[in-house]
Amino acid sequence: MKKIIPVEKNKDYIVEIKGMGYEGEGVGKIDDFTIFIPGAIKGEKVNAKIVKVNKNFAFGKLLNVAQESNYRTEPICGIYKRCGGCQLQHLSYEGQLDFKGQRVKDAIERIGKINPEVLPVIGMENPYNYRNKVQLPVGEANGEINIGFYALRSHDIINMEKCYIQDEISEKIMTLVKQWMITNNIKAYDESTHTGVLRHLMIRKGFKTSEVMVVLVTRTNELPHKDEIIELLTSNIKEVVSIIQNINSEKTNVILGQKSSTLWGKDTIQDYIGKFKFNISPLSFFQVNPVQTEVLYNKALEYANLTGDEIVFDAYCGTGTISLFLAQKAKKVYGVEIIPEAIGNAWENAKLNNVDNVDFLVGKSEQVIPDLINKGIKADVVVVDPPRKGCERVLLEAIAKINPKRIVYVSCDAGTLARDLAILDELNYKTEKIQPVDMFPHTAHVECVVLIQRVDT
């Protein structure tokens, strides 16, 4: 019997919002048929126009709110509804933290089928201007230069004069770059024709050092009028210590190319996480919220509960930032990462901070860690910080075989985290507690640090 769909495209409906989806969209039902409505909040009653109908669900456009949530607030940003940079500015910050905590709980219970303690989300005292890196596409529309973020689910650039999540110095740099382009007739990149010069503007800032790097990402090897942009930036912004040209001549959505040259100043800037300092190049991975990164890493160190006698494996170690934190209290840390350049950065970071009880290895964690085990090297504590896809099962099984006392899991995706915690539960490792950390206020993302203990039988 054919399923009856109770809504029609382009018709308006009153919908009660019973929950919130992965990206913060409101979720309601009409005759048990699910409707996703961006901008709606759990507990509200809204009027929505159906814009897309699928077999099992539909999408609606929010027209007005008949009954408001106490969490609803006026977005601080004037282009919030068009820009894809933030998803949750219509929620008070308290509401954002509540949503993120609930999202983690729902994923753990629904996917993981376990019920550990999920602690309240650790938020920021000031959840604005927290980003130390911004990558802004550059384009042209109707004869005007546009620099900003892409509109949600498109490559239309929303021209931006102010952004409330990036550092304020970025706005000054963006204005100067636009001025330079207009004055010198520097063409913006056109991805449809693969023409033009400037593709992206990337800005990195050391929050504790105030050093600023400006990266001009170009399609062309030559950068016309480069002396003018150097003079404009250095004479107006004293914090700028590095101006880099990065060349990306490929037809691609990847922002940075592999070739960079320093136009002026230093090749890198420096910043700190806790007491550790790091050199940051255009291609370096470095967490974008340094305040919450320190919170996250300190929580990982707390959960590792090291006494100074332990061998620690740090899987997916990246540039070694967590490894250095762990090395403060461990006997030895082995960091594993598949990207050779990241391991090169990790060794440099260890040397820069005079840390000598670390060893960094290139390769897939699910291959390198079993190799270490076969060589007789076993860990007392294992830390994993995988990409969004989570851990390979073979890695989790290899970790369980060496019987570490504790596993600390740092996650950027609640769904894959839940899946992996269920696997570890089968392998006799119990999830004790989950600490969500708000690394990206006003967006739908949430990070977690998880304490997992061996069950002694």
Q: How many C-beta atoms lie closer than 10 Å to residue 33's C-beta?
A: 16
Cα angle vertex 376, ends 302, 372, to 5°?
65
Cα angle vertex 224, ends 220, 227, to 5°?
130
Q: What is the separation, in whole angstroms, between the first and last Cα of the chain?
A: 52
Cα separations in angstroms, 215 against 148, 167, 268: 15, 15, 11
Question: Which H helix or E strand runs over 348?
Answer: helix 340-352
**Residue 33: CB partners within 8 Å, gap ≥ 6?**
5, 6, 7, 56, 57, 58
Would you call 163 a catalytic residue per the annotation? no
In terms of Cα–Cα distance, which of 184, 179, 177, 183 is closest to 199?
Answer: 177
d(CA 437, CA 411): 10
Specify the residue for token string 């636009």.
178
The number of CA neighbours under 13 Å toward the Cβ of 182 is: 11
d(CA 157, CA 139): 7
Residue from 83, 317, 412, 448 carrying the catalytic annotation: 412
Residue 81 in contact with residue 398, Cβ under 8 Å? no
In terms of Cα–Cα distance, which of 347, 357, 402, 411 is closest to 378?
Answer: 402
Cα angle vertex 449, ends 305, 114, to 5°?
105
User: What is the radius of gyration, based on Cα positions, of the chain?
Assistant: 24
Cα separations in angstroms, 398 against 315, 358, 368: 12, 21, 10
In terms of Cα–Cα distance, which of 436, 435, 433, 437 is closest to 451?
Answer: 433
3-state secondary structure 1-68: CCCCCCCCCCCEEEEEEEEECCCCCEEEEECCEEEEECCCCCCCEEEEEEEEECCCEEEEEEEEEEEC
Query: What angle in degrees, to the nearest 10, is found between the helix axes of 393-401 and 414-426?
Result: 40
Residue 197 in contact with residue 220, Cβ under 8 Å? yes
Classify residue 456 as exposed, middle or buried by CB count within 10 Å of its CB (0-12, 13-18, 19+): exposed
Question: What is the set of active-site residues?
Answer: 412
